[in-house]
Structure 1
């Protein structure tokens, strides 16, 4: 177990987001099934925690940016800081959508189309953000998700307000298209991993990486597709299942995303003013961890010391064999005459 290796590629942002979504999904399903009687404002607590961390991280990062001007000269500091501000703006608009959703679920005093206006706006803006992110080699997962689902958000709002009376299977057509493309990507990763496993020229690390990617994307996309099928049938009253059972496949996807956050790399270094990778920041902030995080613990298989004794005997034989193979040089004694 090497803690430094475990956390050197860790992406804390993705870990927090996916963990909050996992807890929120479970609470929301339990609330819909009336297993808990909490208000929706309480059910949305994981979402509020996520947004508070985003706002706090951007505030601290902005303070460090303006308080220490020499930090702006570090590599791509300006691009990282600008990316953080863009992400903050999108999260604030997303927060407005979530507040409207809670108010709608509690009071039902306005139309769903009004609730979805901030989300539709984010989807349109995300197209430009994705282009900017590609040019500057930045991640854009949330922005890409919103950009490709703008039509889906419109259909959802119209269906919830009963402006259209389509079946939910038809309403989810934009999402079906996205899922089909995702399945094609999963199939490609599986085929690519299979090819690498049968190619002797590829080293073990590349084989392991491709296999892990194929496994991760499989456990990510397939459960989401199953959830979508169950949800459409549930909303159309074709099946009798609780919402908790319907969203259970999503738990597999969220757990997969949480595990993948430990090898996601990247991340914006200006959140909370860290200016470095999460692992380096933690080791610098907590010197006590440096003594333990830099130690690698290896587990070896032992059978009552037999394997260790055999290894020691083999090493001793090799040493003796090496000594026997050394060339013997004759010693010539030269005596000087008196």
Structure 2
């Protein structure tokens, strides 16, 4: 085990977001099942932690940006900083939506269509953000999720306010379409991984990466599809199961996302003003880890004297055979004139 290789491609932002969402979904399902009677403000605690980290990280990063102007000369510093500000703006609008949802669940004094207005606004703005992110090679998972689900958010708000009386299977039609496209992507990754495994010209690292991607996306998409089916049937009263059972497939998806965050790479270097990879930063901040990071543990099979002697004999025979197969060239004598 090598600590440095473990955190080399670690993306702390995705790790924090997915962990907070996993805890929140579990608490929210327990609250809907009346297994816990906490206030919704307490149930949303993981969401508040997530948003607090975002605001604190952007604030510290902005302070360092303006306090030390020479840091702006670093490569892609302006792109990273602008990306951080865009992400902060979207998270603040998302925070407004979450506050309205929490207040609606506690008091019920708003229409759901009013609650969803910030989320619909984010979905529209996210289209432009996705285009900007593609041009500057930045990650845009959250923005893409909002952009492709804008119609779904509208349907949810109208259905919750009883403006439409469709079944929940019909309400989730936009999400069914997204999931179908995701299944096509999963099928593509599986086929591509199979091709890599059967291609001798591909090295072992590429084969392993392709196989890991196929497994990861499979365990990500399939549980979400199962959750969607269970949720639609639960809301239509076609099945009688608890909400914690409904969301249980999501636990598999979020655990997969958490594990994938250790190989996600990327990440904005200006969060909290660290200006470097997370691995380099954490090793610099914790000197004790530097010594441990340089230690790698290997499990090797010990060989006794007889096995070593047999191995040496085989190597000697291979070398001897190679010498016999060498071509014999005639000796050419070149006479030098006096």
Return the TM-score normalized by structure 2.
Answer: 0.92
Relative to structure 1, the CA distance from residue 321 to residue 183 in structure 2 (aligned partners, 3 Å threshold; closer, same or farther) is closer
In structure 2, the residue matched to 1:160 is 160
Task: Give 3-state SS (helix, strand or coil) of 1:258's partner.
Answer: helix
2:4 pairs with 1:4 = yes
User: Could you say which residue in structure 1 is the equivalent of 2:327?
Assistant: none
SS at match of 2:266: coil
> In structure 2, what is the equivalent of residue 287 of structure 1?
287
2:224 aligned partner: 224
Which residue in the other structure is 2:49 paired with?
49
Query: CA 1:319 to 1:238, structure 2 compared with 1: closer, same or farther past 3 Å?
Result: closer
Cα distance in 1, alignment partners of residues 306 and 26 from structure 2: 54
Matched with 1:22 is: 22
Distance 1:308 1:77, change over 3 A: farther
Residue 311 of structure 1: how far off its partner (Å): 4.8
1:140 aligned to 2:136?
no
What secondary structure sits across from 2:7 in the alignment?
A: helix
Establish whether residue 186 from structure 1 lines up as the match of residue 186 from structure 2.
yes
2:309 equivalent to 1:313: yes
Q: Quick one: distance in 1 between partners of 2:46 and 2:182?
A: 27
CA distance in 2, matches of 1:110, 1:25: 23
Tell me, in whole angstroms, the C-alpha distance in 1 between the residues paired with 2:140 and 2:25.
Answer: 23
Task: Report the counterpart of residue 246 of structure 2 in structure 1.
Answer: 246
**Cα distance between partner residues in 2 of 1:65 and 1:252:** 39
- Structure 2 residue runs of 5 or longer lacking an equivalent are 322-338
Compare 161-170 and 284-293 and name the one that shifted more.
Answer: 284-293
CA distance in 2 between partners of 1:228 and 1:308 (Å): 58
Q: Secondary structure at the match of 1:8?
A: coil
User: What is residue 296 of structure 1 aligned with on the other side?
Assistant: 296
Aligned to 1:208: 208
Q: Give the aligned partner of residue 106 of structure 2.
A: 106
Aligned length: 322
Question: Structure 2: how far apart are the matches of 1:132 and 1:115?
Answer: 27
Change (3 A) 1:156 1:58: same
Cα gap change, 1:319/1:260 in structure 2, threshold over 3 Å: closer, same or farther? closer
Shift in alpha-carbon separation, 1:319–1:118, aligned structure 2, 3 A:
closer
Aligned to 1:72: 72
Change (3 A) 1:311 1:179: same
What is the rounded CA distance, in whole Å, between the counterparts of 2:212 and 2:305 in structure 1?
36
Deviation at 1:312, TM superposition (A): 3.6
**Structure 1 pair 109/310, CA: closer, same or farther in 2 (3 Å)?**
farther
Aligned to 2:328: none
**CA offsets, 1:126-182, max 9 Å, x none?**
001001001111000000000000000000000000000000000000000000000
Match for residue 234 of structure 1? 234
CA distance in 1, matches of 2:304, 2:217: 41
Residues 204-253 of structure 1: CA deviation (Å, up to 9, x unaligned): 11111100000000000000000000000000000011000000000000
State the alpha-carbon separation in 2 of the partners of residues 53 and 180 from structure 1: 34
Q: Could you say which residue in structure 2 is the equivalent of 1:93?
A: 93
In structure 2, what is the equivalent of residue 335 of structure 1?
none
Q: TM-score, normalised by structure 1?
A: 0.92
Shift of 1:315: 6.0
Moved over 6 A (4+): 318-322
Q: Pairwise mapping of residues 114-129 of structure 1 onto structure 2 (< 5 A)?
A: 114-129=114-129
Counterpart CA distance in 1 for 2:207 and 2:123 is 37
Q: Does 1:34 align with 2:34?
A: yes
Distance 1:155 1:308 in 2: 71
3-state DSSP of counterpart to 1:166:
coil
Q: What are structure 1's unaligned runs of at least 5 residues? A: 326-338
Cα shift readout 1:274-316 (whole Å, capped 9, x = no counterpart): 101000001111111111112211122x4xx5x3444543466
CA distance in 2, matches of 1:7, 1:272: 18
